[in-house]
Structure 1
Amino acid sequence: MVGGPGTFDALELGLLQALQLDGRAALSRIARRLGASERTVGRRYSRLRTLGLRVVGQPVPARLGMTRWLLRIHCAPDSVGSVAQALARRPDTSWISLASGGTELYCALTTSTPHERDALLLEKLPRTPSVVGVGAHCLLRLFTGITSTWYASGIPFGPAQRDEDGVPVPASERPGHPGPLTLDATDRALLTELARDGRAGLPELATATGRSPSSVQRHLERLRTQGALGFSVDFSPRHLGYDLMTHLWLRVAPGEVSAAGRALATHPETAFAAATTGPHNLVATGVFRGAHDLHHYLDHRIGSLPGIQAVETAPILREVKRLTAGT
């Protein structure tokens, strides 16, 4: 029996997991995997949507010749909200959070050209009077994959190479491709529509792109199989009792960054982990039930990672923008 808005049974947790493995999986296939009727799974999916569940299509920057950045922006106390909202309106920002003492913003964005990068980092932000300081960190390698958004309660919500049906999961930035994938007008239109609704049907996508459903299907399969498109499950971990999200900045000994990053990505608390430039060469976001769990994690899990020299924590006070992809 399903309880109130904050209560979830095994079927709903299984549905969230299945969507994390493949955001566009048909509800009929998910129902077969979960041993339930399609009608029942459809009702649970509708309930989760009323609680804010979204599946968002996101381009994979590394496959499209783009560069991902993580900004730490220090603002005057009375202007942090207006700066955050201005950044949230930009199509190149994917998420923005307010952390620390309420004067520091964390902003993830993607740039396609050096001109785009310089326009924001060297011109726009430095000329904003209420911005006190900016730290720009280039993300060098993602360890959790573009579609890892959160984990919970022992359920492995992270990326997988294939699901149990043998279907490839286009969640990671896959190595071995010869170069950036070139997009045409149909690809770009698809990415725009999927950023709004990652589960939009072929008829809707065909209408949006002006192409036939079969053409849309071919473009969609190409983007996925080439590792240029991933799908994120956006569902607040607070619904499951995880009330504390924290940015972690780690300084790791040279030669140990990849080992520490790979180990960090296996932790069920880790929603995001990447190697980065700057004084801290590994950055992560963790999801916890409360302060006690965070302390235990830092003391027992982070401390056991190879080569850890220092850790800085910055609890997230408010999420201003979540998982809005720009192309």
Structure 2
Amino acid sequence: MRSRAPELAEEDLALIHALQIAPRVSWAEAARVLDSSPTALAARWQRLRAAGLAWVTVHSGEQSRDVVAFVDLRVDPIHRPEAIERLSRDPRAVSVEETAGGRDLVLTVIVPDYDSLAAFTLDDLPTTPGVREVNTHVATKVHRQGSDWRLDALDREQQAALRDAARHAESPARGRIPDSYWPVVQRLAQDGRQNAAEIARALGRDPATVRRQVARLLATDALAFRCEVAGLRSRWPIVCTWFAQVPMTDLDHTVRSLSTLPELRLLVSTAGQSNLMFLLWARSSGDLMRVERSVNEKLPWLRLSESVLTLRTRKRMGWILDRHGRATGELVLPRTLQPG
């Protein structure tokens, strides 16, 4: 088991922030923005990744076609370790969190359709050892997601330069993933910064073929790249989720206002008694109180119904994490990154 690591250094945070904006930026381009050298940045990134402190991965870029749900579970304490182990190995549960505040576990579930969601929540979860209660919040629209959240380590000019670099590498073209491309996709899920030559060597494939496949994947919206950070090692170790009820006439304004919060990591419209869910990463409990007070003052029509504190994240977007929130190197491929 890894020992507790020190907090991330300023140079670490700057590099991670850069890769949040432009996950596949070249080390040469990143070095110009960060006033460093390509060799130094590559070595720093390798150290961060090897320690499980940060990693670049991919997820489906077509999530509008997927069904996203957040599932609360009550679990008998004696069976909790077994339930966590089983659910962490299930590709439908892309994230698994241990929480306080009326539930024991919260799952982020991404499946291709509502039949798959019903099978998971109505048939499979109730038979999981120790599960006593299942409550499902279905997302009707994802307004902000984890890949949109940013650190605060770079100045505005640096951020703009990296956004320009990312835009130069992007294309709005739409596309689906051909069956023969899935091994390449899965290598990128393991390491989103791998180049075509590295992927070709790992797969034992022709480098020219892999180069064409990677170029095509990068030129479509089939995949979305994201740089993740171990939350407990960043400046935002506290994770809290709020459920709220908002009048539909005020929803758009509420979404725009909440989206300005630097702590915001996830903002989702949901079906049910609460029609809005938002998750924050905060520096301290005092920060949480400040945000709640600010939300109450600026959005008086928003009625906060419940808050849920995350005690430990065991899995995030397929990656198995240790007790300190660091990537173990083990990835359970989400169902959306598998063929068929």
In structure 2, the residue matched to 1:282 is 276
In structure 2, the residue matched to 1:112 is 112
- What secondary structure, in the 3-state scheme, does the structure 1 residue paired with 2:242 have? strand
Q: Deviations over 1:191-243 (max 9, x none)?
A: 22222111122123235566544443443344444322112222113223322
Separation in 2 of the partners of 1:257 and 1:221? 39
In structure 2, the residue matched to 1:59 is 60
Task: Identify the match of residue 250 of structure 1 among 241, 244, 251.
Answer: 244
In structure 2, the residue matched to 1:131 is 131
Is residue 22–residue 166 contact of structure 2 (8 Å, CA) maintained in 1?
no
Alpha carbons of 1:13 and 1:302: their partners in 2 closer, same or farther (altered >3 Å)?
farther
Task: Identify the match of residue 192 of structure 1 among 171, 178, 186.
Answer: 186
TM-superposed CA distance for 1:61, in Å, is 4.0
In structure 1, the residue matched to 2:71 is 71
Alpha carbons of 1:37 and 1:265: their partners in 2 closer, same or farther (altered >3 Å)?
same
Q: Deviations over 1:270-316 (max 9, x none)?
A: 11111122211111221112111111111114542374122421110
Query: Which sections of structure 2, spanning at least 5 residues, go unmatched?
Result: 319-332
Alpha carbons of 1:227 and 1:140: their partners in 2 closer, same or farther (altered >3 Å)?
farther
Is residue 151–residue 270 contact of structure 1 (8 Å, CA) maintained in 2?
no
Query: Which sections of structure 1, spanning at least 5 residues, go unmatched?
Result: none
Separation in 1 of the partners of 2:6 and 2:234? 10
Separation in 1 of the partners of 2:220 and 2:72? 32
Is residue 151–residue 287 contact of structure 1 (8 Å, CA) maintained in 2?
no
- What secondary structure, in the 3-state scheme, does the structure 1 residue paired with 2:165 have? coil
Separation in 2 of the partners of 1:144 and 1:6? 27
1:182 aligns with 2:176: yes
Q: Deviations over 1:246-265 (max 9, x none)?
A: 11212111132233223322
Moved more, 11-20 or 314-323: 11-20
In structure 1, the residue matched to 2:285 is 291
Alpha carbons of 1:282 and 1:125: their partners in 2 closer, same or farther (altered >3 Å)?
same
Alpha carbons of 1:109 and 1:22: their partners in 2 closer, same or farther (altered >3 Å)?
same
1:92 aligns with 2:86: no
Number of aligned residues: 314
Alpha carbons of 1:56 and 1:7: their partners in 2 closer, same or farther (altered >3 Å)?
closer
Separation in 1 of the partners of 2:170 and 2:252? 21
Give the TM-score normalised by the residue count of structure 2: 0.81
Identical aligned pairs, as a percentage?
23
Is residue 151–residue 271 contact of structure 1 (8 Å, CA) maintained in 2?
no
- What secondary structure, in the 3-state scheme, does the structure 2 residue paired with 1:256 have? helix
TM-superposed CA distance for 1:169, in Å, is 7.3
Give the TM-score normalised by the residue count of structure 1: 0.84
Q: Superposed, which structure 2 residues align to 1:1-327 within 5 Å?
A: 5-9=6-10, 11-52=11-52, 53-62=54-63, 65-100=65-100, 103-128=103-128, 130-145=130-145, 147-148=147-148, 151-152=151-152, 163-165=163-165, 167=167, 181-207=175-201, 212-301=206-295, 303-305=297-299, 307-324=301-318, 325-326=333-334, 327=337
| Greater fraction helix | 2
Is residue 13–residue 155 contact of structure 1 (8 Å, CA) maintained in 2?
no
Moved more, 98-107 or 32-41: 98-107
TM-superposed CA distance for 1:87, in Å, is 0.8
TM-superposed CA distance for 1:168, in Å, is 5.4
TM-superposed CA distance for 1:21, in Å, is 1.2
Q: Deviations over 1:81-119 (max 9, x none)?
A: 221221100122221101115852111121124442232
Separation in 2 of the partners of 1:239 and 1:268? 17
**Partner AA of 2:127 in structure 1:** R
TM-superposed CA distance for 1:166, in Å, is 6.0
TM-superposed CA distance for 1:149, in Å, is 5.1
